[in-house]
Structure 1
Amino acid sequence: MELKDILWTNIFKGRRKKDEAVESILQQVPAFSHLKPKEISLLASIVHRREYKKGEYIFYQGDPGLGMYIILQGEVLIQYTDPDGNKKDLAILRDGDFFGEIALIDESPRSASAICRIDSEIIGFFRPDLFEIIEKHPKLGIQIVLKLAEIIAERLRRTNQEVTQLKTELEALKLALEQTNQK
């Protein structure tokens, strides 16, 4: 490359590609998928990008909930540690997956840890960022909060169904055990 080419090279070209990648991932997240391109661009301008190394914790179980995370590229393990110190892997999340969205609504402690399984690039969208949007762009902020509420409600419905199913199975096992003991 000649000196002339170096002087006139578009130094912002690489940054725009990264911005487009963030916007593309944000558009795929259910909490933001209903937003217009201009709103997605606004959101992309305030989210936080960070690279994590394999084995690095994004957050620990018990940490205060500060916001949600979206995997731009990589792999994240969600892991629960019971009171006896036993670890249970709950989920493995990959490119485009998101987690921790309840923290945008509620600052309760994290119910599990998030650990990078491979080197990963993660987007963080934090509670103060959401409040800034609500303050500066109330209509957009309300749209995001309502969509988050829908996502949380759907997860709660699924959890209720699973608990009901487990209760039914437990009752059936209990009944079978009682019948076995009566014989």
Structure 2
Amino acid sequence: MKLTRIEMFKDLSNMEQAKLLGMLTKLELPAGTLLFEQGDPGDRMFIVERGTIELFLNTEAGGRRSLALLGQWEVLGEMALLTGEVRSAGAQAAVETTLRGQL
């Protein structure tokens, strides 16, 4: 995985990339797997290595409103991690997906 493909990591040296990758766990998610819910603690971020993650909001009627589909090399969860706020949206694997992140 080349982290320099991701805007926020583009200026990292090879050594810095290797250190960061060493801290990230590979997560395999079957389609439909819930990664996190709106309101959960924002304590981790993830990089989509393969597949698609859907970001969504829960509606008052008990449904969901899709916000975005994130694909390869996109990052999610970074805002809650950096601000210490709870998750502003939920995230679910739209298809079989491989992520890199911290557990």
TM-score, structure 1 normalization: 0.53
Partner AA of 1:102 in structure 2? M
* CA distance in structure 2 between the aligned counterparts of 1:87 and 1:104, rounded to whole angstroms: 23
Identify which of 96, 100, 111 aligns with 2:77: 100
| 1:1-183 correspondence runs (5 A) | 21=1, 24=2, 26-125=3-102
Q: Secondary structure at the match of 1:58?
A: strand
Partner AA of 2:54 in structure 1? L
Larger Rg: 1
* CA distance in structure 1 between the aligned counterparts of 2:102 and 2:6, rounded to whole angstroms: 12
Identity of aligned residues (%): 28
Partner AA of 1:107 in structure 2? G
**Where is the strand percentage greater, Structure 1 or Structure 2?**
2
User: Offset of 1:61 from its aligned partner?
Assistant: 0.9
Residues 67 and 102 of structure 1 are in contact (CA less than 8 Å); yes or no, is this contact kept in structure 2? no
* CA distance in structure 2 between the aligned counterparts of 1:107 and 1:85, rounded to whole angstroms: 26
Gaps of 5+ in 2: none
* CA distance in structure 1 between the aligned counterparts of 2:40 and 2:81, rounded to whole angstroms: 14
User: Offset of 1:85 from its aligned partner?
Assistant: 2.3
Partner AA of 1:84 in structure 2? A
Gaps of 5+ in 1: 1-20, 127-183
User: Offset of 1:94 from its aligned partner?
Assistant: 0.7
Q: Secondary structure at the match of 2:100?
A: strand
CA RMSD of aligned residues (A): 1.4
* CA distance in structure 2 between the aligned counterparts of 1:41 and 1:29, rounded to whole angstroms: 14
User: Offset of 1:73 from its aligned partner?
Assistant: 0.4
**Where is the helix percentage greater, Structure 1 or Structure 2?**
1
Partner AA of 1:39 in structure 2? E
Residues 49 and 123 of structure 1 are in contact (CA less than 8 Å); yes or no, is this contact kept in structure 2? yes
State the 4+ residue runs in structure 1 displaced beyond 3 angstroms: none
Residues 69 and 122 of structure 1 are in contact (CA less than 8 Å); yes or no, is this contact kept in structure 2? yes
Higher relative contact order (CA 8 A, sep 6+): 2
Per the alignment, residue 158 of structure 1 pairs with none
